[in-house]
Structure 1
Amino acid sequence: MSAPSNGLEAAPFQPVVIVGGGFAGLTLALKLSRQHPRPPIVLVEPREQFAFLPLLYELLSGELQPWEVAPRYDTLLNSSGISLIKDRVNSINWQSKTVMTASGQNLSYGQLVLATGSKPNDFGIPGVSEHALHFHSLADVSSLRQRLRTVQRLNGNQINGTLPALIIVGAGATGVELACKLADLVEGRVALHLIEQGDQILPLARAFNREQAEASIRQKGIQCHLNARVETMTDNSVTFTGQGRTTTLAHHGLIWTAGTRSSRPTLTPELSETTDRLAVDDSLRSLSIPDCLVIGDLAMHSQADTKTSSWPSTAQVAMQQGEAAAATVMAMRQDQAPKPFHFNDLGEMLSLGKGDATVTGMGLTMAGPLAFNLRRLTYLARLPKASLGLRSAGAWLLSR
């Protein structure tokens, strides 16, 4: 199924406007900047710094520095020819092909790329939006660090006969990696609880990685509550049901990692889609918005047999889509048929605490310090600009 057309042909000088500078949007912008001839490129992103999300755990623990994990956009885009607008998009009029920002700018585009990512989903559970911490951004790292300092000042003193507690809700990759890192940071002075609605941790992970994570959780003394559904939370307690009983735990901080939802911008006219995600064809072109691509967590694949599916919400998917979207944009500007996007699964890597990780993929299956080193170097090498990755890797190697 081909993308719709409004009959307006984009003039060659009209820019490619990219909304969102996460993995997908930034990869696309940098890839487009290396094309010949290079199209005009505008990246709209409100943050000062790019956050390499898979390494936020090492930033929390102090194993990596902010310049390694969160380089500034002006550094990343220096001499690239990309126009960076540090602003938030308020709405998009896809009929007039204009993007309206919070500061009042109206940007016309030839091609639009929506790469707005995702945000935490509280599923409407009472108290979560008001009281839960998250682990989805640089600001979240700062908030969690501050909470850790507060809890650690208790110095392991028991309250009503129990240690102060931190609770992580959601035992997917983020929840498990965060729980293992926190266990190493608190060193037994804080009780850690991991609450998961399903019957196992890491339900989408490969078996070897799940087994290694389960062993790490047992070794670190993290209390895992499976088949447990959170019903409500307050600023100092959480109530969950499971296995025929209701349990209330006191806490000194609850980190919500139980799910995300797409961060969809306001569209004018509004579309009739019933989901947060936007359907795309094989080449990542929107099925509803002319001259528009959708990449990253916002994209939902619509197939010829009318079935829909979503790619995994991972950095490697987003970066591969950014690369493919650049080729699609250039094909659209040259009035050529774009090639379909095919995700190449490069494997799975999980951090399991300080100096520990598990890796399955790239022809390897390993766990422990060697896997930790491989994971870190692999991610550092994939930073949006190779020079930053290599400089970071060199600094880390010299510090060993």
Structure 2
Amino acid sequence: MSLKRALSADLKPATDAVRICILGGGFGGLYCALALHQRLKQSPRPIHITLVEPRDRFNFTPLLYELLTQELAPWEIAPAYRELLKHTNLDLRQDWAEHIDLTQQSVTLRHGEPIPYDYLVVALGSQMRPPTTPGSQTHSLPFNTLHDAEQLERRLNDLEQSPKVRVVVAGAGPSGVELACKLSDRLGSRGHVTVVDRRSEILRSYPQRIQRAAARALAKRGIEVYLDAAIEAVDASGLTFGYEGQTHHCPADVTLWTVGTVPRSWLGNNAPKLTPLGQCPVRPTLQLPNYDNVFVLGDMAAMPAPGRDSQSDPSRNRAPTTAQAAYQAGPAVAHNLLALIANRPLKPFVYNHLGDMLTLGQREAVVCGFGLCITGRLGAVSRRWAYWLRLPTHAHRWRVLKHWLGLRS
């Protein structure tokens, strides 16, 4: 018997084991799986946990920007799943989930055998909004994964000898602002960075204190910002947009596309009726309304957040589509799964907004929460440590901490 087949046989569930299948290894799915593993002794029955994720590395997306300025190394923010899970009994399937059959309680994979389940957790996250602007898919780069960061790094290396590097960032949301500041610091005097957005303000959904800090950071670096600008086309030479009644062409060696994300589509024909934002409606416990044994969390779910309710904007009573919300929902779903198995009462998910953090360049950030707003280098240190606390597994956090302390010694 081959080693691979032997390992697979070792991971087969016992005949009386409860089968939990988790789709997606992002902040929602991975942290749910880890929380389940830590609480297995609380279950009255043995549990077999299968995590389906096509990538080989977890992406701690809020820290991807530090790769551009070499403040962090790829292994720190994109550890391999095999490394993270090597001391657990989680059954990792590196494969794509293709179809969910809610009636037969089965998940079809692209390559492997179908996975039968007793309980299902769907945490497939979101994806970049499909660009409709002519040329944007061909002539611009996204920035949402380690692969995207590596692709941008190769492009920047190709331009290493250029006396002038022109970068255009489409989108003035958090990703666009963070990218613009980091790239400006990396390129220094060689760089000319421009941000273009169709909205009338940067970081539209963020508090004014963060907007002001970001505006100062952009201005300090000489980054041009065009708001109320309608992007019309992207080609190999740059980006064309309408601004103040005139058509402008902004030359670019690199064009980055950060204009929004959308929840991933439901896998299967028996999809729940989605909200206007394309999310699955869920109960306060994050279960699907008609299926007690199916949980949906993260960007795919309209997760409740009553504390954010607003009469002027009904969407405010939903948790944001952020890593922070998915990170909190993972352990909450793990708790409810174990409660369901043990026939105990379930708890409603309560989203707790812990504040907002943005990197605004090399060794500079803004951190706002609990009535405080920290900027500059102290903000950068605060942000780095806040994210360190949220890295997956104690072993990985300890390895990263030793590396950081070694750099400082």
Aligned counterpart, 1:71: 79
- C-alpha distance 369-203 of structure 1, shift in aligned 2 (>3 A): same
After TM superposition, the structure 1 = structure 2 runs for residues 168-207 of structure 1, keeping only pairs within 5 Å, are: 168-207=169-208
Structure-2 separation of matches of 1:107 and 1:303: 32
SS at the partner of 1:15? strand
Written as runs of structure 1 = structure 2, the 5 A alignment for 1:385-400 is 385-400=393-408
Change (3 A) 1:190 1:287: same
**Do the aligned partners of 2:31 and 2:327 also contact (CA within 8 Å) in 1?**
yes
Verify the 8 A CA contact 1:193 1:224 in the aligned structure 2.
yes
Deviation of 1:316 after TM superposition, in Å, equals: 1.4
Return closer, same or farther for 1:199/1:388 CA change in 2, 3 Å cut-off: same
**Alpha-carbon distance between aligned partners in 2 of 1:376 and 1:362, rounded to the nearest angstrom:** 18
Question: Which shifted more, 388-397 or 133-142?
Answer: 388-397
Q: How does 1:46-57 map to 2 (within 5 A)?
A: 46-57=54-65
Look up the SS of the partner of 1:283 in the other structure. coil
Q: Which residue of 2 aligns with 1:154?
A: 162
1:288 positional shift: 4.8
Displacement after TM superposition at 1:145 (Å): 0.5
Structure number with the higher helix fraction is 2
Counterpart CA distance in 1 for 2:290 and 2:239 is 42
Q: Contact conserved, 1:279 with 1:302, CA < 8 A, in 2?
A: no
Q: Say if 2:121 is the partner of 1:113.
A: yes
Distance in 1 between residues matched to 2:236 and 2:121, nearest whole Å: 39
What root-mean-square deviation, in Å, do the aligned CA atoms of Structure 1 and Structure 2 show?
2.1
The structural deviation recorded for 1:90 is 1.0
Question: Which of 16, 21, 26 is the aligned partner of 1:17?
Answer: 21
Q: In structure 2, what is the Cα distance between the partners aligned to 1:315 and 1:140?
A: 18
Give the superposition deviation at 1:39: 2.1
Q: Is the 8 A contact 2:297 2:303 kept in 1?
A: no
Partner of 1:161: none
Deviation string, structure 1 residues 29-71 (Cα, Å, up to 9, x no partner): 0000112236211000011110111110112221111121111
Q: Is the 8 A contact 1:301 1:310 kept in 2?
A: yes
Q: Counterpart of 2:167 in structure 1: which amino acid?
A: L
Determine the C-alpha separation between the residues in 1 that align with 2:358 and 2:243.
28
User: Cα deviations across residues 246-280 of structure 1 (Å, max 9, x unaligned)?
Assistant: 21222111111110011124213344436532111
Q: Deviations over 1:352-384 (max 9, x none)?
A: 111111111155321111111111111112101
Residues 155-191 of structure 1 show CA distances to partners (whole Å, capped at 9, x for unaligned) of 22xxxxxxx4211111111111111000001102121
Using the TM superposition, name which of 324-333 and 282-291 deviates more. Answer: 282-291
Q: Which residue of 1 aligns with 2:221?
A: 220
Equivalent residue for 1:295? 297
More deviation in 361-370 or 174-183? 361-370
* Secondary structure of 1:239's aligned partner: strand
Contact 1:12 1:333 in 2 (8 A): no
Partners of 2:272 and 2:280 within 8 A in 1: no
Other-structure match for 1:278: 280
Aligned to 1:29: 33
Give the letter aligned to residue 22 of structure 1.
G
Please give the residue correspondences for 1:1-400 in structure 2 after superposition, counting only pairs within 5 Å.
13-35=17-39, 36=41, 37=43, 39-156=47-164, 164-273=165-274, 275=276, 276-301=278-303, 310-362=318-370, 364-400=372-408
Q: Equivalents in 1 of 2:240, 2:404: separation in Å?
A: 42
1:84-112 C-alpha deviation (Å, 9 max, x unpaired): 01101111111111001010411000111
Letter in 1 for 2:223: I
Shift of 1:343: 0.7
Report how far residue 150 of structure 1 moved.
2.1
- Indicate conservation of the 8 Å contact 1:320/1:343, yes or no: yes
Letter in 1 for 2:166: A
Tell me, in whole angstroms, the C-alpha distance in 1 between the residues paired with 2:223 and 2:107: 47
Amino acid of the residue matched to residue 286 of structure 2?
L
- Superposition deviation, residue 241 in structure 1: 1.6
Q: Do 1:32 and 1:39's aligned partners in 2 also have CA atoms closer than 8 Å?
A: no
Structure 1 distance, partners of 2:98, 2:371, is: 45
1:163-222 Cα deviation digits (max 9, x unpaired): x42111111111111110000011021211101111111111122221111111001011
For residues 274 and 321 of structure 1, do their structure 2 counterparts lie closer, same or farther at Cα, with a shift above 3 Å needed? closer
CA contact under 8 A between 1:236 and 1:253: conserved in structure 2? no
Moved more, 43-52 or 331-340: 331-340
Size of the aligned set, in residue pairs, is 382
Q: CA deviation at 1:13?
A: 2.3
Q: Give the whole-Å Cα distance in 1 for the aligned partners of 2:362 and 2:229.
A: 28
Q: Which amino acid aligns with 1:153?
A: Q
State TM-score, norm by structure 2. 0.88
Is the contact made by 1:239 and 1:248 (CA closer than 8 Å) also made in structure 2?
yes
Matched residue type, 2:241:
F
The secondary structure found in structure 2 opposite 1:188 is: helix
On the 8 A contact 1:89/1:265 being kept in 2, the answer is no
Decide whether the 8 Å contact of 1:359 with 1:366 is kept in 2.
Answer: yes
Shift of 1:289: 4.5
Deviating beyond 4 angstroms after TM superposition, the runs of 4 or more aligned structure 1 residues are 302-305
> Which of 1 and 2 has higher RCO (CA within 8 Å, sep 6+)?
1
The two structures have a TM-score, normalised by structure 1, of: 0.90
50-59 or 330-339: which moved more?
Answer: 330-339
1:126-164 deviations in Å (ceiling 9; x for gaps): 2222222011001000111011122332122xxxxxxx4
Partners of 1:362 and 1:48 lie apart in 2 by 36
